Structure 1
Amino acid sequence: MNSVWIGGEADTGLHERTPYWLNGFVPLAFLLRNANATELPATRGIYKYKASTGKYWYTKGYLPVGEDLAKRNETFESAEAYCNAQHECLGFTFHGNDSAPTAPVPVYFKKESEPVLSAGWNSYVKILAPKPVDALGQVHKYMDYILAHQNTTTGWLGPDDAEKALGNQYWPRSNMLLAMIAYAEAEPAVYDNVTKSMLLYTLEMKRRLETLPLGEWAAARWADLDLSVQWLIEHAPAGHAAELFDLSDTLHRQGTDWEAWFQTLKGGWPHNVNIAMALKSAAVLYRTTINSTLRELSLGRMRNLDRAYGLPTGMFLGDEYLPTPPTRSPSRGIELCGVVEAMFSYSTMFAVFGDTAFADRVERVAYNAFPATWASPRGGDMWAHQYLQAVNEINALSNADPHVWQRDGAAAEMYGLEPNFGCCTANFNQGWPKLANSLIYTAADGGVVVGVYAPVEVSLPNGQGYVSVETSYPFSDTATVRVKAAAALTLYLRIPGWAEEATVDGAPARNGTMHEVACPKGATAVRVDFNPGVRLEMWDNGTVSVHRGALLFSLPLGLNFTTTAHHFGDMAMSNDYQVTPTTPWNYALDVDPAKPHASLEYHFRGYQSGAAPFNHTNWACFITATVRQVPYWKERMNSAASPPESPACVRNGKDVCGPPIQVQLVPHGGTDLRIGEFPVAGTLSSEPLMLGRKGNKNQKTSPT
């Protein structure tokens, strides 16, 4: 709210937070407009601002808190009277000394007999009546200020200060450029101005790169910069194509050689977000080089990451950096920034190459890893996220000391406003809006491509009609696609790799392909039935994960939430939480990997329209399974130890596990604490289950 990008003092250093946020918020605001949601409901509350001194203060002017009553030297009693006498004052809080309080203090609201406990403050604050959130108004406030304050001499965008000596000033502007692209495409009135502004900036960047090459962050993330340059090649005023192609080449030449790195996964700077962003580098490079080997390199890098660091959610391990030594332990984490960047990268890879494997991966990450990063006592909201999430997560502690992850802090797995680092607080906003913009594509022949399934309606280019997808996927198994076209066209429907018995209008449709439907002029309706079955995927030491369709199913643990801080709104809103389990977690799955359907039963209750899709109550679907407790599978360093070798219940010729019990496995994205990768129980009479990475002939060894 006080960003240097709009004339304030916050967001220093790399100046990355505001560009991160706008990269998601700009498309979100326009998607809301398209859905006739121009205003969002007001939220009554106060916001805690941490000043550079380390103390908590309320500052009038750029924080929505109203007048700081401490400056009036008012006492508590007169503050109460002052608030009660004014209609616009909803409440107040206080703290009696200059140090940050160590425990929550009350917030007093009018017409409420009891105070609402909240985090500590050290001044009186008048809480003003809330106003509806004008999302588009916020977009215009930021984007118009940034455009109006562009350096008219050089073309530079935003603050221009000392960090440029490191060559990193280019990188945060890659997100600003992506936000500007969304702004230009969604708002025709600003298209020319935004395109001109982007061109002026990129030409200045080209000049600077001659003497100040890309720094480490910018070099690792060159592909995002190049995407914007490529957009300008297609959209900028004529006469600059040669310069922009040259700039594209410079970015690749100065950037990290990801094409070589992904072959071995060794050396370099294995930062998880850099890797997630770099997944698309071969696809981005392909657009200007048309080298057919780049498609195979893209598929290969996905397989290489899966083999060394892969997770059942479709992500790879990266608790800041790739783990050393390499591991696929489901108790290790991946950063939220890495998740949303991987979603965007895989969407870009599908857009360029049209390979269904990339769109399959978009869905796996988007419908499992991404929503699993939030938790709250009521469930289904996005107030509190993790910095790191794990597939097998049995604690989310505010001070996990010791911890199994290597490079991040002791609060990295807790849920809250800003656990560990604030980059994810700003960056997660791109996840859903950019996914929504990556559902439907146009084909080179003018046809329409349904790449990722979700409920959506899209206008075709040049007023040629629309395409809609009616579905509650990924919870349901069907989708109806309707096309209204001004002229005949081809509809391309992605049939996921796991959909081995899919049909389109009752006729078989081969999995892993783009199924073609000829649509004449006028209206066409097509029904896709995915017909998925429950399947197991094999991991290290014979462990398994349970899947059906695009969803991973995990065991949800009972939850004990402890609020450790409050930041905004009422007490159900922006809090920090420590979450611990109230139910056992160390179970082996009692299943025959060759016949999973014999013991895993799927149930579909139906998605309730309007409900939060990934809630931890009223599950739309679940799988009943039989499990047995493994007494020697213990907690290690505040996390679940790596799953024991299968068969887990047979040790030294004895059955060592507890009795069979029935549990519900639920969509992983709705869980807060969970087990998503299990050892197989086995029996004294069963054949050895030492499948490891070779797997079973009927099962896949990795998500790819």
Structure 2
Amino acid sequence: MHDSTLTGRRGFLQASVLGAMVSLLPAEKAGAAAKPEAAAVFPQAPLAPQPFQLLPAGSIRPTGWLRRQLEIQAEGLGGRVDETWADLGPHSGWLGGNGESWERGPYFVDGLLPLAWQLDSPKLKAKAQRFIDWTLDHPWPNGMFGPTSNDDWWPRMVMLKVLTQYQELTGDARVLPFMTRYFHYQLGALPERPLRDWGRMRWQDEVASVLWLYSRTQDPKLLELAALLKKQGYDWQGMFAEFPFREKTDAKLVEAKGGKNAFMEDDGLQVHGVNVAQSLKASPVWSLVSRDANDRAAIHHQLAQLDTYHGLPNGMFSADEHLAGRSPSQGIELCAVVEAMYSLETALAITGDAVLGDRIERIAYNALPAAFTDDMWAHQYDQQPNQVECSLHRRPWTTNGPEANLFGLDPHFGCCTANFHQGWPKLTASLWMACADGGLAATVYAPCRVGTVARGVPIEIEQETDYPFRDEIVMTLRPASSVAFPLRLRLPAWCRSPSVKINGETVKAMPGEGFLTVERRWAAGDKVELSFPADVVTETGFNDSVSFSRGPLVFSLPVGEAWVKWRKRGLTNDWQVYPTSAWNYAAGDAGTVERHPVGERPFAGATPAMTLTVKARLVAWKAEEGAADPVPKKPAMEDEPYTTLRLVPYAGAKLRITSFPALAS
């Protein structure tokens, strides 16, 4: 038996910051090939140290149910959308054509690239490479890049995210000088052509890429650029400090202030759901430059404000298209789901706060898969926790149109068709992170295989689990030679009795600890066994409604579904979905949890991996124009007996009730 040193979250953060200050990892050289076991590159002084860092792209490969989910994405729209959608086809402006030349090409590759390498798919790699090669091989003479039909800063911000991943995957020597030249150009151009609309709201995404490059080149002009982007960008932290947007956005009031164009000015952009999702990383990212602990911690205040005034039971906030209040009949855009995940993954690395891992899992294992058909050949623009019909109606959206919750190729607007691809691959890339003191951290749980280094020694970790559908996780460590390093294990905040064993021997794990740190010498074959037993929790929400969760999973009543093809869309279709069973129930006590096999399609409603029974009774509650009325606070009971409902994981029910009126005792 080896001695283990256990530290809590506070001690870990102090130790990791100190370790980062005295032993920052060396930066990569331009053109050096990145290998799966390559070390993470931490921020270089004068940037603030951070406790965690994402491993180089390609270090984590999915296994088990997660690999099946990524294969479904690759075989559906995620890998083939360019074959059926002109906006990403051969005439794309990001392939040198005269087609769509703004954000959709970069959006697509931002998820396609990690998906291709995680699945080691030659076909998908070739698709991604075409976009990257055209971009790198066609810079403008002045340093700008991308299609010449526009000079908008915003779509370049997305392609920069692509290039950072690509350089880590391949070590392509073109990337660092290409990015340097562009950033130098932009530093000179921004005073006369400042950030506007989307770029002004999303400046933090580019600052993340700027700091990524700075950690590799130490070019002082990059810090000047970061400061200028922040200065010209929208002040998200200031907005949330005295958060004024506490009700559903009233489109008529916004238009009365600024006319139809008001939604492209601050009055509209600051309550735009995707902007808000991307803003969650703004303060943590900027804290690397400011070195201000208040900036680093501000994300928690932002999340609290969103939960209080717009929170939904699936881990997201409502915004359809703009912030929409707490009613679970309101929706959230798929772009906002994947952007919130990416923001939280970034923030988790910078802050080391375990609670962000809980939030990532809540979104990833509910809101993300809920927005797709099980084969991922169709998706929604907006999803609703209480979604009783997907049809052509304008109710209840703030500003979206009647196609908003249809399942299809590009319902309502095509941004999500291009952007959803990043959700699963970037979650995979965030399952494990490097620690500033040379250790490794398990940050989000799913089956995977990790290849990286720990204190200079190559190591592989096999993580076997059916989590979140099961409670147990087994990690097998295989370092190339025995090596001492701290292993940090996230203890979910919802778990009241976590269990941790090292080679069969129990290690004390305290609920609420955040990250449990196990410091020891690790040898090939060492096993870490985790168990996170979960209680069924009844959560109170809008109008005293109740919803049910167990661990990361939220449960919903599946409403019978009649799928009606609205129109053929090349390789796929657009669908309307109508209810075939009653949904107007009040719910009370939770009953039995039953476990079932995790199917080939892990989140499919027809084969749920877990079910939950609840006591219920029909109540007076109706739908209008395809949308359930807001949950009634004290509904009248129908003249029907009590019954037992069988709930399934949220994502498996494409028509569903998630927030129920509380059943009178």
TM-score calculated relative to the size of structure 1: 0.75
Query: Residue by residue, what CA displacement relative to the aligned partner does 1:576-625 show, whole Å, maximum 9, x if unpaired?
Result: 1000010001001032xxxxxxx4211112324xx011112111111012
Distance in 2 (CA, whole Å) between partners of 1:660 and 1:519 is: 56
Deviation of 1:515 after TM superposition, in Å, equals 0.8
Q: 1:306 to 1:297 in 2, by over 3 A?
A: same
Distance in 1 (CA, whole Å) between partners of 2:588 and 2:350 is: 43
Determine if contact 1:476/1:606 at 8 Å carries over to the other structure. no
Partner of 2:576, secondary structure, is strand
Query: Residue by residue, what CA displacement relative to the aligned partner does 1:337-360 show, whole Å, maximum 9, x if unpaired?
Result: 000000001111111001111111
Deviation of 1:160 after TM superposition, in Å, equals 3.1
Gaps of 5+ in 2: 1-88, 246-265
Partner of 2:119, secondary structure, is helix
Determine if contact 2:297/2:351 at 8 Å carries over to the other structure. no
Task: Name the aligned partner's letter for residue 678 of structure 1.
Answer: F
1:7 paired with 2:96, answer yes
1:252 pairs, out of 221, 230, 234, with 230
1:553 pairs, out of 552, 555, 558, with 555
Identity %: 36
Q: 1:206 to 1:657 in 2, by over 3 A?
A: farther
Distance in 1 (CA, whole Å) between partners of 2:244 and 2:154 is: 24
1:665 pairs, out of 632, 647, 661, with 647
1:262 paired with 2:253, answer no
Gaps of 5+ in 1: 40-133, 592-598, 650-654, 684-704
1:495 paired with 2:478, answer no
Query: Residue by residue, what CA displacement relative to the aligned partner does 1:445-489 show, whole Å, maximum 9, x if unpaired?
Result: 110100000001111136611122110111011101222233211
User: 1:125-274 counterparts in 2 under 5 A?
Assistant: 134-151=123-140, 153-161=141-149, 163-164=150-151, 169-188=152-171, 190=172, 192-236=173-217, 240=219, 242-266=220-244, 268=266, 269-274=270-275
Partner of 1:464, secondary structure, is strand
Equivalent residue, structure 2, for 1:98: none
1:623 paired with 2:619, answer no
Partner of 2:511, secondary structure, is coil
Q: 1:566 to 1:511 in 2, by over 3 A?
A: farther
Distance in 2 (CA, whole Å) between partners of 1:195 and 1:184 is: 8
Deviation of 1:656 after TM superposition, in Å, equals 4.4
Equivalent residue, structure 1, for 2:597: 606
1:373 paired with 2:371, answer yes
1:536 paired with 2:527, answer no
Paired residues in the alignment total: 543
Equivalent residue, structure 2, for 1:578: 576
Partner of 1:518, secondary structure, is strand
Distance in 1 (CA, whole Å) between partners of 2:317 and 2:242 is: 15
Determine if contact 1:446/1:489 at 8 Å carries over to the other structure. yes
TM-score calculated relative to the size of structure 2: 0.80
Distance in 2 (CA, whole Å) between partners of 1:175 and 1:463 is: 34
Once the two structures are overlaid, the 10-residue window that deviates more, 426-435 or 538-547, is: 538-547
Determine if contact 1:263/1:304 at 8 Å carries over to the other structure. no
Equivalent residue, structure 2, for 1:680: 662
Deviation of 1:657 after TM superposition, in Å, equals 5.1
Q: Work out which of the two has the higher radius of gyration on C-alpha atoms and give 1 or 2.
A: 1
**Bigger helix share:** 2
Distance in 1 (CA, whole Å) between partners of 2:541 and 2:444 is: 26
Distance in 2 (CA, whole Å) between partners of 1:491 and 1:659 is: 54
Deviation of 1:403 after TM superposition, in Å, equals 1.1
Equivalent residue, structure 1, for 2:440: 448
2:340 pairs, out of 323, 339, 342, with 342
Query: Residue by residue, what CA displacement relative to the aligned partner does 1:79-132 show, whole Å, maximum 9, x if unpaired?
Result: xxxxxxxxxxxxxxxxxxxxxxxxxxxxxxxxxxxxxxxxxxxxxxxxxxxxxx
Query: Residue by residue, what CA displacement relative to the aligned partner does 1:244-275 show, whole Å, maximum 9, x if unpaired?
Result: 00101111111000011112333742110000
Equivalent residue, structure 2, for 1:301: 302
Determine if contact 2:461/2:476 at 8 Å carries over to the other structure. yes
Equivalent residue, structure 2, for 1:87: none
Q: 1:682 to 1:657 in 2, by over 3 A?
A: farther
Distance in 2 (CA, whole Å) between partners of 1:657 and 1:510 is: 48
1:636 paired with 2:640, answer no
Query: Residue by residue, what CA displacement relative to the aligned partner does 1:551-573 show, whole Å, maximum 9, x if unpaired?
Result: 0000011110001112234xxxx
Determine if contact 2:328/2:542 at 8 Å carries over to the other structure. no
Partner of 1:628, secondary structure, is strand
1:389 paired with 2:367, answer no
Deviation of 1:374 after TM superposition, in Å, equals 1.1
1:30 paired with 2:127, answer no
Equivalent residue, structure 2, for 1:103: none
Determine if contact 2:92/2:99 at 8 Å carries over to the other structure. yes
Task: Name the aligned partner's letter for residue 19 of structure 1.
Answer: P
Task: Name the aligned partner's letter for residue 493 of structure 2.
Answer: G
Deviation of 1:681 after TM superposition, in Å, equals 1.2
Point out which structure has higher relative CO (alpha carbons under 8 A, 6+ apart). Answer: 2
Distance in 2 (CA, whole Å) between partners of 1:413 and 1:453 is: 30
Distance in 2 (CA, whole Å) between partners of 1:463 and 1:184 is: 22
User: 1:261-340 counterparts in 2 under 5 A?
Assistant: 261-266=239-244, 268=266, 269-323=270-324, 327-340=325-338
Partner of 1:496, secondary structure, is coil
Query: Residue by residue, what CA displacement relative to the aligned partner does 1:507-543 show, whole Å, maximum 9, x if unpaired?
Result: 4522341011234141321111001011111112221
Determine if contact 2:284/2:297 at 8 Å carries over to the other structure. no
Task: Name the aligned partner's letter for residue 159 of structure 1.
Answer: P
Partner of 1:370, secondary structure, is helix
Partner of 1:600, secondary structure, is strand
Distance in 2 (CA, whole Å) between partners of 1:660 and 1:517 is: 50
Query: Residue by residue, what CA displacement relative to the aligned partner does 1:160-214 show, whole Å, maximum 9, x if unpaired?
Result: 34x54xxxx11111110111111110113x1x21111111111111111021110
Distance in 1 (CA, whole Å) between partners of 2:359 and 2:515 is: 15
Equivalent residue, structure 1, for 2:509: 509
Task: Name the aligned partner's letter for residue 471 of structure 1.
Answer: T
Distance in 2 (CA, whole Å) between partners of 1:160 and 1:254 is: 24
Distance in 1 (CA, whole Å) between partners of 2:566 and 2:542 is: 36
Distance in 2 (CA, whole Å) between partners of 1:452 and 1:194 is: 30
Distance in 2 (CA, whole Å) between partners of 1:514 and 1:639 is: 42
Partner of 2:477, secondary structure, is strand
Distance in 2 (CA, whole Å) between partners of 1:540 and 1:567 is: 38
Distance in 2 (CA, whole Å) between partners of 1:539 and 1:586 is: 17
Determine if contact 2:487/2:518 at 8 Å carries over to the other structure. yes
Distance in 2 (CA, whole Å) between partners of 1:140 and 1:539 is: 46
Distance in 2 (CA, whole Å) between partners of 1:642 and 1:266 is: 23
Query: Residue by residue, what CA displacement relative to the aligned partner does 1:672-702 show, whole Å, maximum 9, x if unpaired?
Result: 110001111114xxxxxxxxxxxxxxxxxxx
Task: Name the aligned partner's letter for residue 467 of structure 2.
Answer: Y
Q: 1:657 to 1:471 in 2, by over 3 A?
A: farther
Deviation of 1:159 after TM superposition, in Å, equals 1.6
